[in-house]
Amino acid sequence: MAARRRAPVIRIDRREVAAEVARVFAIAAAVERWPEWLPHYRWVRFHARRDDGGVVEMAAWRPFGPLNYPTWWVSDMKLERDVPRIRFRHVRGITRGMDVAWDFEARERGALVTITHRWDGPAWPLIRRPVAELVIGPVFIHAIAQRTLAGIARVAEAAEAA
């Protein structure tokens, strides 16, 4: 009898942005500029570029009071301009195997941006699920996603007002 596979851990973060969807999408898709706009990003480097994205290495800080914990991962990024959606598949780092989707929806006052993370947890026998659900998901993924959404909103709203 085959082992039953558990549903992935899912984290959803949302933010309303007072800017047009096309502007928010373009700013979010410009990942190489994130360190310029988002102080918690240490670097973003493309290893390979394609018209619809590419392989991108990202590093961010996760602050804990006065201390910053370094995080790092490599993703295959795919831009779906017609949806609009940005997908990331983490291919290296502790979050290897994570699927991330950024969805952009027009709203009366701008855009709703939703980031959905789906992941089975790290490749650690026995503790992978609790570590993903109790530590990595809420403490790292959610915290970094919230800061990223806030920064993208700040840049998009400033550009919209200009």
What does the pLDDT average to over 39-52?
A: 97
Nearest to 3 by CA among 81, 99, 107, 120: 120
**Which of 3.30.530.20, 1.10.1740.10, 3.40.630.30, 3.40.50.12780 is the CATH number of 9-161?**
3.30.530.20
**Under a CB-based contact definition with an 8 Å cutoff, are residues 125 and 142 in contact?**
no
- Domain definitions of the chain by residue range: 9-161
The least confident of 24-33, 86-95, 116-125, 139-148 is: 116-125
Of residues 86 and 131, more confidence is placed in 86
pLDDT at 4: 55
**Under a CB-based contact definition with an 8 Å cutoff, are residues 132 and 9 in contact?**
yes
pLDDT at 9: 83
Nearest to 8 by CA among 145, 154, 117, 151: 117
E-strand spans in the chain?
A: 9-17, 41-50, 53-64, 67-80, 85-92, 99-107, 110-119
Residue 122, pLDDT > 80, answer: no
